[in-house]
Amino acid sequence: MTKKRGFEIVKKFKDAGLDLPQRETANAAGYDIKAAADITIPADGSIKLVSTGLKAYMQADEVLYLINRSSGPYKRGLVLPNSVGVIDADYYNNEKNEGEIFVQMRSISGQDVQIKKGDRIVQAIFIPFLIADDDQAAGVRTGGFGSTGDK
């Protein structure tokens, strides 16, 4: 089978016994992503990066969105401060790193929230996107989290 899109475990977590993301029901859009290690999301509202131990490959005109589970804020008091995480196709095996996906998380409960290894923290949805007529993007991704600068 030709590889089109999917998830792989990054080297750092290769012996950690992680599961590859699954959809829970036949028509679900989202692949549920689990935390790769225990982490506390602090009561003070500061932002933590949660390791997933995963990278994602996809077609050049596809993007992977990380979107909160509806139970995230409602039951656990957890939100993604960036609302939606955008995982670009060229983040996979980029120049500086393998392209591990991290989930930004913040507690809005006023309490510490304990995330345990294996907890399903976010859902990931593959989506095709369009480009504008005059698009001339030719840059090469060298990392993530601000690698392309502010200007």
Ligand X SMILES: O=c1ccn([C@H]2C[C@H](O)[C@@H](COP(=O)(O)OP(=O)(O)OP(=O)(O)O)O2)c(=O)[nH]1
Task: Find, among 143, 36, 131, 52, the residue nearest to 91 by Cα.
Answer: 143
Structure-block tokens of residue 94? 């980029």
Q: Does 87 bind ligand X (CB under 6 A)?
A: yes
Q: Does 85 bind ligand X (CB under 6 A)?
A: yes
The correct pick among 32, 65, 69, 104 for binding ligand X (CB under 6 A) is 104
CA atoms of 39 and 79, how far apart (whole Å): 15
CA atoms of 135 and 130, how far apart (whole Å): 10
The residue written with tokens 């998380």 in the block is: 105
Q: How far is the CB of 115 from ligand X (least distance, A)?
A: 15
Q: Does 146 bind ligand X (CB under 6 A)?
A: yes
Q: Does 97 bind ligand X (CB under 6 A)?
A: no
Task: Find, among 41, 17, 19, the residue nearest to 32 by Cα.
Answer: 19
Structure-block tokens of residue 79? 């939100």
Q: Which is nearer to ligand X, 128 or 146 (CB)?
A: 146
Burial 134-143 (b: 16+ CB within 10 A, else e): eeeeeeebee
Site string for ligand X, 36-65 (x = CB under 6 A): ------------------------------
Q: How far is the CB of 71 from ligand X (least distance, A)?
A: 19
Q: How far is the CB of 132 from ligand X (least distance, A)?
A: 17
Total of chain residues touching ligand X, rule CB under 6 A: 17
Contact set with ligand X (CB under 6 A)? 66, 82, 85-88, 91, 101-104, 143-148
